[in-house]
Amino acid sequence: MTNFTANDFDMPHSKTWCPGCGHFMVHKILREVIAEMEMAPDKIVFVSGIGQAAKLPQYIKGHMFNGLHGRSLPAAMAIKASNPQLEVIVNSGDGCLYGEGGNHFLAQIERNSDITVFAHNNMIYGLTKGQGSPTSPKGLVTPVQIDGVTNEPFNPLTVAIAMGATFVARVFPGNSEQTKKVFKKAIEHKGFALVDIFVQCVSMNKTNTFKWYKENTYELEGDHNQGDKIAAFTKALENDPYPTGIFFQENQKATFEENCAAYKNGDQPLYERNLDMKKLKKLIESRRA
Amino acid sequence: MTNFTANDFDMPHSKTWCPGCGHFMVHKILREVIAEMEMAPDKIVFVSGIGQAAKLPQYIKGHMFNGLHGRSLPAAMAIKASNPQLEVIVNSGDGCLYGEGGNHFLAQIERNSDITVFAHNNMIYGLTKGQGSPTSPKGLVTPVQIDGVTNEPFNPLTVAIAMGATFVARVFPGNSEQTKKVFKKAIEHKGFALVDIFVQCVSMNKTNTFKWYKENTYELEGDHNQGDKIAAFTKALENDPYPTGIFFQENQKATFEENCAAYKNGDQPLYERNLDMKKLKKLIESRRA
Amino acid sequence: MKDISIVIAGEAGQGVQTVEEILVGVLKISGYHICATKEYESRVRGGSNSTQIRVSDHQITAFVDRIDLLIPFNVDAYNHSKNRLSSSSKLITDPANEIDITELEKSQIIEVKLQEIAKEIGNPIYANTIIAGIIIGLFSADKEAAGKLLDSKFNKKGESVVNSNIEAFNSGFAIGEKITGSGDFKHDLTPDKNVKNDILVNGAQAVGLGAIAGGCNFISAYPMSPSTAVLQFLATNSNDFEIIIDQAEDEIAALNKTVAAWYAGARALASTSGGGFALMTEALSLAGIMESPAVLHIAQRPGPATGLPTRTAQEDLNLVLYAGHGEFQRIIFAPGTTEQAFYLTQKAFNIADQYQIPVFVLTDQDFVDRYNNIPELDITEIKIEKHYVKTEADYQRFKLTDNGLSPRGIPGYGTGLVRVDSDEHDEQGHITEDMDYIRPEMVKKRFHKRFELIEKIAELPTWYGPKSPKLAIICWGSTLPAIQEAVDNSNREDIAIIHFHQLYPLPANIKEFIEKNNPEKMISIEANASGQLANLLKVYADISIPKESLHLRYSGKPFSVEDITEIIEQEAK
Amino acid sequence: MKDISIVIAGEAGQGVQTVEEILVGVLKISGYHICATKEYESRVRGGSNSTQIRVSDHQITAFVDRIDLLIPFNVDAYNHSKNRLSSSSKLITDPANEIDITELEKSQIIEVKLQEIAKEIGNPIYANTIIAGIIIGLFSADKEAAGKLLDSKFNKKGESVVNSNIEAFNSGFAIGEKITGSGDFKHDLTPDKNVKNDILVNGAQAVGLGAIAGGCNFISAYPMSPSTAVLQFLATNSNDFEIIIDQAEDEIAALNKTVAAWYAGARALASTSGGGFALMTEALSLAGIMESPAVLHIAQRPGPATGLPTRTAQEDLNLVLYAGHGEFQRIIFAPGTTEQAFYLTQKAFNIADQYQIPVFVLTDQDFVDRYNNIPELDITEIKIEKHYVKTEADYQRFKLTDNGLSPRGIPGYGTGLVRVDSDEHDEQGHITEDMDYIRPEMVKKRFHKRFELIEKIAELPTWYGPKSPKLAIICWGSTLPAIQEAVDNSNREDIAIIHFHQLYPLPANIKEFIEKNNPEKMISIEANASGQLANLLKVYADISIPKESLHLRYSGKPFSVEDITEIIEQEAK
Ligand SMILES: Cc1ncc(C[n+]2csc(CCOP(=O)(O)OP(=O)(O)O)c2C)c(N)n1
Ligand SMILES: Cc1ncc(C[n+]2csc(CCOP(=O)(O)OP(=O)(O)O)c2C)c(N)n1
Ligand code: SF4
Ligand code: SF4
Ligand SMILES: [Mg+2]
Ligand SMILES: [Mg+2]
């Protein structure tokens, strides 16, 4: 039944990404991972916002909710909460998730909504042609930041850890083996899983190139304790070079859906349920007293 | 000239807060502090959003920008950026700053905008009558969270530290001496200063009362290293009891205003400046070539 | 037709609301028709709030300025309400309040030592229950019912509190009966047995019940007066009706979640006020391009911006009508009665699902907070119409069809993939730049064809009163009851009311409908500064109401029956 | 009147833009009038984009479908444009592209081995410069100017790159001259000396220059096509003009910052597109209640939601007109020419400051991206009018005055305190619940009195053409040039154009103005599905354009001259 290959998850449409764009690598690895995990397209909803990264769901077989710029996370949260039987996977960009969508990033972590977030972090606004993003390094010159970016770069990992996110990871797809492993664990994780992905934007960011990412990342040591928040935070502060891997994971915390009264007796999707007319009658009657 | 007393900073209008509300304490201490700092009302802009806490600027003498719910920080940032000679002080609630305003909280920290933020954290939506706020403790029963809050409480300190905020503190006004000291340091701080203030909402939050705060807080140890981000983070994670004091401070980082080309040659406010018609002429001429 | 207008005034937190609850419940059970209207400041303690409870022998649903009986809790409360007193008003007051009364004759004042009695019972707080007792005593209403209500209200706080309240009530009741007995307060209302069994709802509850009856099982909302009551009503009933309750991080999230929830098969409601809705504008446009159902309840209050958060207005019709960039259709309801609020909200879910567009229920503070008794909310005819389809493998979410509706699949139901997109897209939902065919067809579908469909089911306004009237009063939403009562009071047979409970789209025959009824003159009564309904009629119905026939109020107060009477006297001499 | 329409088509990133820049610059310096119109997909590489450059002996500012000379970079580019070719079109193509051409005669095709030549020079990328050279050669245009331009364009990349480009250019130029010489391509345009010194601007630059000329010194904006160009223009000039540049965290922040910046004495601009503006709705309302100046540039694109991000539309007039909860005034401009964009944007800052309201400059993708030469942007008459006052100690920000304007102080200037509030407030700015006096007065000030003031300064639409025309074409914003050219081409003396560059408010005498000019018939041409200007005229000018006289386009493509010609032929037989 679920014997799909990575290619089966490809869509026939031509991709509008630039040749060499890092989003291709995520597209490939993600398809491989879900194929290996024996997932089926009709059990997954791919959610995104707007941006080059956010086009990914257009090119992968599954249900798709390609929403507004910055708003992928509320959409994903609501889809999961309306039908917990669906696997909900978000792919979007650094601008979308950490810029316009910053408040939703915080709020969905607070909920521990059971969704997986793949954040394509190319440290630039790709689709709108190269303005600084929240993760752009200081000094990066762009058409808006003409004398270089001056904002403190947003560190998605430290913030997610600070927020109490239950799965926090970073990968560099140049290290495809680790990337695959982390993707799998993120999808398997029950609760909010963040994977920040270092991808190159070959057209708009000439600083943070594939080569740069390669030279500036290293795998987290094997003895890193993923249950230790302070160790995770300490590692997440490192940036010369940047560690990759799973920084933090916690499995006990209930998810948003688990906390919903509606799912106390099972995860039957909302659409299958019907209004209990007797209860409604009773509720109305209660107002006669 | 600036010989004002705390009372001089009071406004004649009656306060609409409930008797015993924690916002009164902040109102008093803040007036004392700015009086002692010899500041003048016409040099300060008090900025807020909407909520009970956000009413504070209504009751304190100075310029006032009482903006939209959730939007105090962008307003404060723009005021400071338009006239760096003004002192800009924000007073708003936990719902306003960390709920509706979450994205602005992140973004203004990234900018290191030179503003002081007093976050009245009563762990509840006061003005709208008692719904859970981002900082509400798990289990708190409210008219919306009828079976108790299930979200992970937002920890403003860990997040601010993770974001690279340059001044991060928590106070409990029941400890008025420490509160005053911290308020002063926060106002003196060059850059974004966050003071999370534990205040009671006597009407809507019967859990986190004055007594509760008193019993669940302690002063940060004298040997706490305010320059050590990891130590600050570790302390900020503590919640049984909660430490109060300055968790982190860093003084070298340039502010948003300092990074603006417009202020390279001095902090003359924008309103005093005039368009250089010759340069405009030149710019137009350049388009003839 | 008779009624008594009782006003209880005091600070926020002083117990006005407690008195109201007891009164309204007991008087109804005793067979009196009631209508309760609140007005309050944007604060939790202090200030001056009041509740008007009208007690009557026939159904009443409007607010009057007139006060027959005023019970102020303190001097400020008295001053807050005194300009509504007349020579026939009565005042019950505690001499301890030391109110300096110059407006009334001695004979109009009834002194009761509330504080003293309350303290005797054990706590000044019992003054509230004493007041409730007095009023219920004035009407010799159902003492037993009162006991039951007090019990259920206070039993969480322990037996002694219940008992003290009953004691307080009884002493109040005795005082009330004595006052009536002495002739200091007269009324000749005869209780109506049928009322006993009536339903008591305010506008917010009617919307909430309508939502549940519409199958609502998801709400994501950010608290905002005066809409919060609907969120809290659904939360209170969330266990029984398996409703997902999400207190959203902001209103932007709330509507994005609403749209996504519908996508995934939920029936979701967004509920907010004007300022919150302003933030939903972009997401509304998302519903537009995704052809997503959405139900939105907007409880208006005076703006701009924060404005007067606890007051009333009808200022956001334009916003609701035109919110969202780009062009797509929507339906806007504006109930005039609690029954309408219930049925229209229920219907909103079905037609949102069927026509795959946002459907609005537009109310306001006056409406959501106003209580009255109604005989029935009949659910026997009510159906939850689920309009989604089971998908096949070749399913296309945005299929171009003859009737302009693309069958809506949901992920997980059937074998098809459901792919939706905020970009312009082809039938599959794939992003497109085809401007020659796909784009115009999709616009036609979303805008022109959808309009044809929803215009067909558009409901005509309700015409109250005679044909060929000398004056026809045009109105919408919450102002209906006051206008109806004023017209009734006028005893004139030549005045009609045209009440729009559906504002958009208007039915194709709207102009014909009105012209057929042949009003000599039309005026529009609206709680805004620009005559938003009048403008809407101009654009969409070719009906022109001249500027001087607009009766606009933008003070934040609701129209009272007297306000309307004045307008009628001026317009229909 | 003659002109040549040249279209260069290729993938994004292939260099269409480079060719355009060189051509436009050099041809203008050579005395040719030019107009360049871009169309592109929402991607950074690949796809099919094109630029049309019209070269003429008189000023032209519109887009035509017709292609006189097509230069496709590859097969897709050819296919993308081929339906615009006719029997008089010419094609320059590299045989290496292996395009299968069935639409053209052999004689229409000119083959040039672009790739081969480019490779000889050292890099296939030089093909772009060769193409530019060819076209400039076709017109025997100013070779020296080209050299200068290439130098300034490439000198950052080093001397050898400059030299290779010049070499490429020269070889192209030679080919171009040869083609003209051989008669394969003919034109009889005579260069106009005056053009040499003209200014070359597109719509975005005109808005940006207007903003600077209006004293803009603060912009907070979030990138969004097609508005980003204005942000980038101001950023580029931020050092010279001491402009604070803030790339906002989102559009909500952007407008809140804009309002707060004005409060603190800045002259701030918000610039975005429909979707971004949708998010600003609440903050617009903040400007309303705070009586804050604000200037907003909205570059429209097709919606709803993300829609077609790089295409054009006029769909957001309603949104701009009614955005914001509550009621307050605003002014809306919609320039039809780059000159208008400059002067109106400049003016926007002064009148926003003077009348303390939001002022909109409404453009669209077609407008912001379209380039043409203009003789002058005259700044000699331009003044930065600062309308704030120095405050005294007893200053009240919201003082009720006779004329309805409360003098605006700013913090730090004078001794007064400047206190502003999103709640309803008294004259001091203190929060109020006074519904009897303050609230109605404040609404009157913000809505009614403000309207009177801005109605007085409202500008009439421009009437082009005869009085008492058989046909009057109503239009707004960017469509003016195409309509003008089509009317000119028609050679008919009985067609007029009524172009609205100010949409709201309309001057009080608007109906009179139009009736005085006595058009027999009026049609409205708009790039939307509902006829938004027509509806606006109905409500605010009592002018009714029947449905069948609306010529609406919502494909995402701009109206071409030919499109308008077709409409004229249909409407004015
Ligand atoms: C409300 C809104 N604001 C702005 C935009 C314009 N916009 C589209 S994509 C984008 C940035 C994309 O950057 P990122 O999310 O990092 O994705 P990337 O293209 O780099 O993969 C922006 C600003 C929009 N579509 N909607
Ligand atoms: C856009 C918007 N959404 C919602 C509201 C309603 N609102 C006003 S105050 C408030 C919460 C206040 O809570 P907090 O900021 O914690 O302040 P507190 O009253 O507790 O001091 C809310 C939700 C609003 N005014 N605007
Ligand atoms: S612009 Fe950058 S992010 Fe976008 S497709 Fe090209 S390489 Fe990828
Ligand atoms: S409700 Fe709470 S926060 Fe508001 S004034 Fe009262 S005590 Fe203070
Ligand atoms: Mg990016
Ligand atoms: Mg709070």
Task: Write the secondary structure of D296-313 as one string of H (helix), E (strand) and C (coil).
Answer: EEEEECCCCCCECCCCCC
- Give the domain-ending residue among D346, D374, D402: D374
Q: Is C380 part of any domain?
A: no
The chain D residue lying nearest C47, using CA atoms, is: D433
Distance from CA of B122 to the nearest CA of A (A): 18
Please identify, among C177, C197, C217, the residue that sits at the C-terminal boundary of a domain.
C197
Measure the CA dihedral C303/C304/C309/C311, to 10°: -20
| CA pair distance D108, B20, nearest whole angstrom | 88
Given CB atoms, is C45 within the 8 Å cutoff of chain B? yes
Which residue of chain D is at minimal alpha-carbon distance from C435? D555
Contact between D137 and D177 (Cβ < 8 Å): yes
User: DSSP labels for D193-205?
Assistant: GGGGG-EEEEHHH
Task: Tell the residue number behind the tokens 């958060």, with chain if given.
Answer: C309
Domain that holds residue C23: 3-197
Give the torsion sign (CA, B211, B217, B218, B219). Answer: negative
The answer to whether residue C478 is domain-embedded is yes
**D379 domain residue, yes or no:** no
**Residues with Cβ–ion distance below 5 A, ligand 5:** A 93-95, 122, 126
Q: Are the Cβ atoms of B151 and A111 closer than 8 angstroms? A: yes
Q: Report the 10 Å Cβ neighbour count for A19.
A: 11
Which 3 state secondary structure label does DSSP give C289?
helix
Are the beta carbons of A75 and A101 closer than 8 angstroms?
no
CATH code: domain of residue C34: 3.40.920.10
Task: Look at residue D572 in the predicted model and tell me its pLDDT.
Answer: 87
Pocket test for ligand 2, best of B16, B17, B50 (most atoms within 8 A of CB): B50
Asked if D218 is an interface residue toward chain B (Cβ–Cβ < 8 A), one would say yes
Q: Are residues D347 and D443 in the same domain?
A: no
Q: Among partner residues D198, D283, D418, which is closest to B63 by beta-carbon distance? A: D418
Does C295 reside within a domain?
yes
Q: Do C82 and C181 belong together in one domain?
A: yes
pLDDT at residue D2, rounded to an integer: 84
Residue C50: inside a domain: yes
In chain A, residues with a C-beta closer than 8 Å to the C-beta of C420 are: 64-66
One domain for residues D451 and D480:
no
C-beta separation of C397 from C429 below 8 A: yes
Nearest CA to ligand 1 atom 12: A51
Ligand 2 atom showing the smallest separation from residue C224 Cα: 6
Other beta carbons within 10 Å of A278: 8
Q: What is the pLDDT of residue A2?
A: 57
Give the integer Cα–Cα distance in Å for D473 and D492. Answer: 13
Q: What is the CATH number of the domain that holds D508?
A: 3.40.50.920
Q: For residue C296, which of C372, C193, C221 has the smallest C-alpha distance?
A: C221
Q: Which residues of A touch B107 (CB under 8 A)?
A: 102, 134
pLDDT confidence of residue B2:
57
Residues D285 and D344 in one domain: yes
The closest alpha carbon to A78, from A102, A104, A55, A101, belongs to A104
Structure tokens at A47: 């959610």
Return phi, psi of residue C98, to 5°.
50, 50
Half-sphere exposure of B42 (CA within 13 A, CB side): 18
For every one of its 573 residues, what pLDDT tens digit does chain C have, with 9 covering 90 and above? 589 999 999 998 888 888 999 999 999 999 999 999 999 999 999 999 999 999 999 999 999 999 999 999 999 999 999 999 999 999 999 999 999 999 999 999 999 999 999 999 999 889 999 999 999 999 999 999 999 999 998 999 999 999 999 999 999 999 999 999 998 888 889 999 999 999 999 999 999 999 999 999 999 999 999 999 999 999 999 999 999 999 999 999 999 999 999 999 999 999 999 999 999 999 999 999 999 999 999 999 999 999 999 999 999 999 999 999 999 999 999 999 999 999 999 999 999 999 999 999 999 999 999 999 999 999 999 999 999 999 999 999 999 999 999 999 999 999 999 999 999 999 999 999 999 999 999 999 999 999 999 999 999 999 999 999 999 999 999 999 999 999 999 999 999 999 999 999 999 999 999 999 999 999 999 999 999 999 999 999 999 999 999 999 999 999 999 999 999 999 988
Q: How many residues does chain A have?
A: 289
Indicate the residue type of D269.
Answer: L
Inter-chain touch B68–D379, beta carbons under 8 Å = no
Is there a single domain that holds both residue C37 and residue C128? Answer: yes
List the CATH number of the domain containing D256.
3.40.50.970
Residues of A in contact with C417 (CB under 8 A): 41-42, 61-64
Same-domain pairing of D40 and D67: yes
Amino acid found at C28? K
**C356 lies in some domain:** yes
Structure tokens at D294: 């604000």
Residues of B in contact with D422 (CB under 8 A): 50, 66-68
Q: How far is D544 from chain C (nearest CA, A)?
A: 9
Domain co-membership, D443 together with D484: no
Pairing of strands D33-39, D46-56: antiparallel
Interface contact flag, D209 B284, Cβ < 8 Å: yes
What tens digit of pLDDT does each residue of A217-229 get? 999 999 999 999 9
How much is the pLDDT for B83? Answer: 98
Considering only CA atoms, which of B271, B114, B126 is closest in space to residue B200?
B126
Nearest Cβ partner of C420 from A41, A55, A66?
A66
Q: Which helix (H) or strand (E) holds C372?
A: strand C371-374
pLDDT along chain B (289 residues), means of 10: 84 94 98 97 98 98 98 98 98 98 98 98 97 98 98 98 98 98 98 98 97 98 96 97 98 97 96 97 94
- Does C275 sit in the ligand 2 pocket, CB within 6 Å? yes
Judge if C56 and C162 occupy the same domain.
yes
Rounded Cα distance, B77 and A134, in Å: 17
Q: Which residues of B touch D259 (CB under 8 A)?
A: 67, 75, 78
Interface of D with B in 402-421 (CB under 8 A): 410-413, 415-421
For residue A129, the ligand closest to its alpha carbon is 3
The answer to whether residues D43 and D12 touch, using CB atoms and an 8 Å cutoff, is yes
Confidence at residue D16, expressed as pLDDT on a 0 to 100 scale = 87
| Domain finish residue from C424, C456, C488 | C456
Measured CA to CA, the distance from residue A72 to residue A58 in angstroms comes to 14
Within a domain: D381: no
The full DSSP string for C374-407 is ES----TT------EEEEPTT--TT---TTS---
pLDDT at position D573 is 81
Same domain, D36 and D125: yes
- Alpha carbons within 13 angstroms on the beta-carbon side of residue D196 total 9
Mutate to test the interface with C, among D225, D273, D327 (most CBs of C within 10 A): D327
CA dihedral C363→C367→C368→C369, nearest 10 degrees, is 160
D116 and D243 part of one domain: no
**Is the pTM value of this prediction over 0.95?**
yes
Residue A180 banded pLDDT, cuts 50, 70, 90: very high
Query: Coil, strand, or helix at residue C111?
Result: strand
Query: Once rounded to an integer, what is the mean pLDDT over residues A3-32?
Result: 95
For residues D188 and D209, membership in a common domain is answered with no
Q: Does C223 touch chain B (CB under 8 A)?
A: yes
Statement to judge: residues D117 and D136 lie in one domain = yes
Residues A116-171 pLDDT 10s: 999 999 999 999 999 999 999 999 999 999 999 999 999 999 999 999 999 999 99
Q: Residue D382: inside a domain, yes or no?
A: no
Q: Do A16 and D238 touch (CB under 8 A)?
A: no
Supply the DSSP symbol for C478.
G
- If one counts the domains in chain C, the total is 4
Q: With an 8 Å Cβ cutoff, are C250 and B125 in contact?
A: no
Q: How many CB atoms lie within 10 A of CB A240?
A: 5
- Nearest residue on chain B to A192, alpha-carbon basis: B152
In tens digits, chain D (573 residues) has pLDDT values of 589 999 999 998 888 888 999 999 999 999 999 999 999 999 999 999 999 999 999 999 999 999 999 999 999 999 999 999 999 999 999 999 999 999 999 999 999 999 999 999 999 889 999 999 999 999 999 999 999 999 998 999 999 999 999 999 999 999 999 999 998 888 889 999 999 999 999 999 999 999 999 999 999 999 999 999 999 999 999 999 999 999 999 999 999 999 999 999 999 999 999 999 999 999 999 999 999 999 999 999 999 999 999 999 999 999 999 999 999 999 999 999 999 999 999 999 999 999 999 999 999 999 999 999 999 999 999 999 999 999 999 999 999 999 999 999 999 999 999 999 999 999 999 999 999 999 999 999 999 999 999 999 999 999 999 999 999 999 999 999 999 999 999 999 999 999 999 999 999 999 999 999 999 999 999 999 999 999 999 999 999 999 999 999 999 999 999 999 999 999 988
Structure confidence at residue D13 (pLDDT) = 85
CA distance C89 to D284: 46
